[in-house]
Amino acid sequence: MNGLMLHKELLISSLIVHADRHHGDREIVSRRVEGDIHRYTFRDCHRRARQMANALTRLGVKVSDRVGTLAWNGYRHMELYYAISGMGAVMHTINPRLHADQIVYITEHAEDHYVFFDLTFLPLVEAIASRCTTVKAFIAMTDRSHMPQDCGIANLLCYEDLIEGNSADYAWPTFDEETACTLCYTSGTTGNPKGVLYSHRSSLLHTYAAALPDALNSSARDVILPVVPMFHVNAWGLPYIACMVGAKLVFPGPGLDGKSLYDLLESEQVTLSTGVPTIWQGLLTHLEQNGLRLSSMRRTIVGGAACPPVMLRKFQEGYGVDVLHAWGMTELSPIGTVAALKPRHQEMRTEDRYAVQSKQGRAVFGIDMKIVDAEGHELPWDGLTAGDLLVRGPWVVHSYFRNEGGSPLKIDGEAHGWFPTGDVATIDADGFMQITDRSKDVIKSGGEWISSIEIENIASAHPALASATCIAAKHPKWDERPLLLAVKKPEAQVTEAELLAFLEGKIAKWWTPDAVVFIDELPLGATGKVLKNRLRERFQDYLLPSRAESPT
Amino acid sequence: MNGLMLHKELLISSLIVHADRHHGDREIVSRRVEGDIHRYTFRDCHRRARQMANALTRLGVKVSDRVGTLAWNGYRHMELYYAISGMGAVMHTINPRLHADQIVYITEHAEDHYVFFDLTFLPLVEAIASRCTTVKAFIAMTDRSHMPQDCGIANLLCYEDLIEGNSADYAWPTFDEETACTLCYTSGTTGNPKGVLYSHRSSLLHTYAAALPDALNSSARDVILPVVPMFHVNAWGLPYIACMVGAKLVFPGPGLDGKSLYDLLESEQVTLSTGVPTIWQGLLTHLEQNGLRLSSMRRTIVGGAACPPVMLRKFQEGYGVDVLHAWGMTELSPIGTVAALKPRHQEMRTEDRYAVQSKQGRAVFGIDMKIVDAEGHELPWDGLTAGDLLVRGPWVVHSYFRNEGGSPLKIDGEAHGWFPTGDVATIDADGFMQITDRSKDVIKSGGEWISSIEIENIASAHPALASATCIAAKHPKWDERPLLLAVKKPEAQVTEAELLAFLEGKIAKWWTPDAVVFIDELPLGATGKVLKNRLRERFQDYLLPSRAESPT
């Protein structure tokens, strides 16, 4: 027997409708590619999204057609979020930092009918346009006066022309909430990129969960600056969350350096921001070098990669900004866990509390997680035992677009129906998960596992280092041994012996890296993550054979 | 084309599973009917709920069978919330304050297979047991040593015997999220009670929305005391919310007087509580008479009836407790709106801010609302124009159980598909809804509407009054005119002329009541609301014919 409640489909369009009706005069402020600051309201955004929906309809875009974007965080991108998904088409956000060949691959694989792009990416679009066989036109996200001339793109349209040429008289259609709304490719380090196809239902449920007090904790009194890009897992859902709760949005556009971010944080009185550690390092450096304070920001959510404890401490003690460590994946829409403290954590000594905050956190409601051994048996939540992390829930992928790579969930036994994250983690009695490594990054020494992340987190705290990473290098006796790769701060000096001494007592003795190599910089991927596979390729033989020693 | 995300049914059982895994040691503290304080954890609750699910299965309870409860807020009631709904049956919470005949009617109408009851209600159950033809057994929510003797209930079972006699080895089943989970009858003032049948889906979506920062704002750091009863619209969803976020729960049992509540609020360090104004008045009186403070409570949600502005001011200025005004209905699961302030409200002068806080508030995401005129045309959100309030959303009823009264949504024209709340309201430009009256309570004087609520709110603030209500009385010239019914505080003195002078300048002159009648007490319904229909019956002719005067 069914309940007797209204069945209302969970649809993306309901978010912008709610924002218009309940928070119509709330601002969206954007640093534009054109260089200036643009500001308007949710009501304006909704009107222009409806105009764009009419424009797309006239361009022949139909339900489930893919429409690509190559764009920064900005109001026009926000309009596309609602225009494309709202009309029932699929917004395909493309990471512009990928190699041109990969972008062509992705666009062809997704069969994008149109691609919108910020002017920053004109050279990129010029280079790939003729190779994107499914794309009927490229649309420059600018006005007539800024349109590129003689650019050699056969079918080029102007964003503002499309808006101005169409009425705002558009009624968002109703359809099944399982309908696809957005598509985002994971930039895997091996194999072809794989597309994750979100549904309206999965996105709405994710938005509810992500806005909760113990997740991103967003209200109508917040001013949110998403540094995490809208081209990567929907900026952690913030363009949706802001509409759900009526928070003011501040979009940084291409200005992701410390100074540009600081200026916006202050001028717009941002209360909440989100980003990956590499971006926050830039902000912290700018603050330190110029002796600046943060007058309004009270919380920052750090994710995308493990947040070094030293950064957590700097934000909290130096700037009065609460740091929430979060963890997610493209395959999780992306939010899986947030390290929101429990009452007993709040009573802890500072050091112990930081140790808890450094974990990836506990599952937001909707996500189930467990850790398993090699046979798929569940492991205890004791904070010590590490195993492969599996998740499931209504915003977790069940297969990739066009079944690329087969279903990741078809594992045997107990793990069937669970998504294998590729992370190795512990979970403590409070349900706080801590990633000890990526499955592929873990260092397997003499049959035991060494956490590369733990070593590099500790090493990164050395005052002379700008950054550090730890990788597995081949070893004749122990199969693999840790190798520490370190980047010094400008002018700073430190020796291998000093670094190893710095680690002493902070990690098990047999975890001590066999060697330290100083390099100029760490290679970063398109989303700011260290490309460890590239480093492994370069340094895999570093400990062979002359440097090989007993690790104990 | 559908998205490629896992479809996970939204089920009540997932809440207690999450609470066990992530907040297993969080406490649930209950004042028992037996007189003592009971405390255990979410993990204990989950174990006993599984034992009860096994017990119910052995008693022959099947999917969608109704199981009734006549119980206070307590841990055993909480176990039933999860045992009954979790196994796929329908938990039917019965309001024990209803007349015995109504309870028999409801039990028969729902076709309850079993009815659980707190010992408080033994006399009630004894009186009705033989008339409840579908009930196979009544189960006393107590242990063997407290079981009633020779009570004349033919089939009487003992709660703790059922728990102890069954294993905790029970796997919650998976089924369609549209399946019914709970049933709650509205205690209408006219006609038979009508059942609202919630689904697992509607309840889960309501839980997400209700826990948001701008709704009940609940986190793992909260200690929640639900004064609103679990027998009435699921205590506003708090038994679900607490599991979703890991908040400690404090159940007051039958102790709803000011002293009993105060003792629990302090001893358990409650941070958040919810209740109707009549209950809060009892607490405030206790605080005032004994010169007490509230050391931990920071927020209270007031709903169920309009909160008098004077109460709002007392909580905030006298006790440092933020008051959130909320509005809902049984037909809305129940939460529709919460008066969570926007940034511009926070900058207002105190008086203006109180005026905003006194409104019922803005819709939580998921609820659409509008006000319409007699022809169903939407009215402007100007804060002045009043109209019939309509709502829709995934936790709004579409028809009553067994189609009692026909579908309330089958209205003609623009209002089709919307639920008519029976309230008359204004909505301002910020989306803050304010109920000016119940459709049936509004005073129609000379073709214009007078808000009975506004008049009684102002009158209630008079220091000599304990309470006041305003009703329509028949009038030979104007059809209806306002009549103010006032209850004096013990020992206090005030005259009709003084009360009318107190209203002067605070309401339009033509709204001034034609007369004031002092009475000993206001008749209250089972949920603490003033029974205005009873007062109207008693006083409808009060202004006829000798007292009739021109209202100018």
ipTM of the complex: 0.89
CB pair distance less than 8 Å for A22 and B363: yes
pLDDT digits 0-9 by tens, A70-103: 999 999 999 999 999 999 999 999 999 888 999 9
Question: Which residues in chain B have their CB less than 8 angstroms from residue A212's CB?
Answer: 208, 211-213, 219, 244-245
Q: What is the mean pLDDT of residues A231-256?
A: 96
E strand intervals along A78-136:
90-93, 112-117
Whether the CB of B176 is below 8 Å from some CB of chain A: the reply is yes
What are the two backbone dihedrals, phi and then psi, of residue A240, each rounded to the nearest 5 degrees?
Answer: -85, -45
Check B69, B93, B182, B186 and give the catalytic one. Answer: B186
More confident position, B408 or A274: A274
Among the listed residues A383, A526, A532, A511, the one whose alpha carbon sits nearest the alpha carbon of residue A459: A511
Considering only alpha carbons, which residue of chain A is nearest residue B243?
A: A365
Express as a percent the part of chain A with pLDDT over 70: 97
The two tokens of residue B295 are 């050391």
Q: Is A552 a residue whose pLDDT tops 50?
A: no
CA distance B402 to chain A (A): 10
B344 interface with A at CB cutoff 8 Å: no
Active site residue B449: yes
**Using CA atoms, how far apart are residues A25 and A41, in angstroms rounded to an integer?**
5
Phi, psi of A463 (to 5 degrees): -60, -20
B34-55 tens-digit pLDDT? 889 999 999 999 999 999 999 9
B307 touches chain A (CB under 8 A): no
Q: Please give the angle made by the CA atoms of A209, A211 and A214, to the nearest 5 degrees.
A: 80
B18 in contact with chain A, both atoms CB, cutoff 8 A = yes
Regions of chain B with pLDDT less than 50: 547-552
Residue among A208, A246, A341 whose CB faces B209 most closely: A208
Is the pLDDT at A483 greater than 70, yes or no?
yes
Paired tokens of B411: 């209205």
Higher pLDDT, A45 or B551: A45
Q: Judge whether residue A198 has pLDDT over 60.
A: yes
CB of B4 less than 8 A from some CB of A: yes
C-beta neighbour count of B165 within 10 angstroms? 12
Alpha carbon separation from A537 to A473, A531, A542 (Å, rounded): 9, 10, 10
Pick the closest to residue B78 from B114, B38, B121 (CA basis). B38
Among the listed residues B263, B338, B306, the one whose alpha carbon sits nearest the alpha carbon of residue B423: B306
A186 reaches B (C-beta below 8 A):
no
pLDDT of residue A550: 43
Report residue A533 as tokens: 């596979």
pLDDT value for B430: 96
CA separation, residue B219 to residues A119, A162, A217, A340 (Å): 43, 45, 10, 9
Residue-wise DSSP of A267-321: HTT--EEEE-HHHHHHHHHHHHHHT---SS--EEEE-SSPPPHHHHHIIIIIH--
> Exposure pattern of B290-315 as b/e (b: 16+ CB <10 Å)?
eebebeebebbbbbbbbbbbbbbbbb
pLDDT for the residue B548: 44
Q: What is the pLDDT of residue A274?
A: 94
Which phi and psi angles does B236 have, rounded to 5°? 60, 20
With CA atoms as reference, the chain A residue closest to B346 would be: A221
Kindly list the catalytic residues of A: 186, 331, 444, 449
Q: Shortest Cα distance from B535 to chain A (angstroms)?
A: 34
Distance, in Å, from the CA atom of B12 to the CA atom of B9, rounded to the nearest integer, reads 10
For residues B250 and B32, what is the distance between their CA atoms, to the nearest angstrom?
11
* H/E segment holding residue B15: helix B13-23
pTM of the model: 0.90
3-state secondary structure of A262: helix
**Calpha distance A259→A261 (Å, rounded):** 5
Predicted confidence at residue A527, as pLDDT, reads 62
Are B212 and A209 inside 8 Å of each other by CB? Answer: no
Strand partners, A140: A117, A158
Taking only the tens place, the pLDDT of each residue in B432-485 is 999 988 888 888 888 777 888 889 888 988 999 999 999 999 998 888 999 999
Q: What is the DSSP letter of B318?
A: I
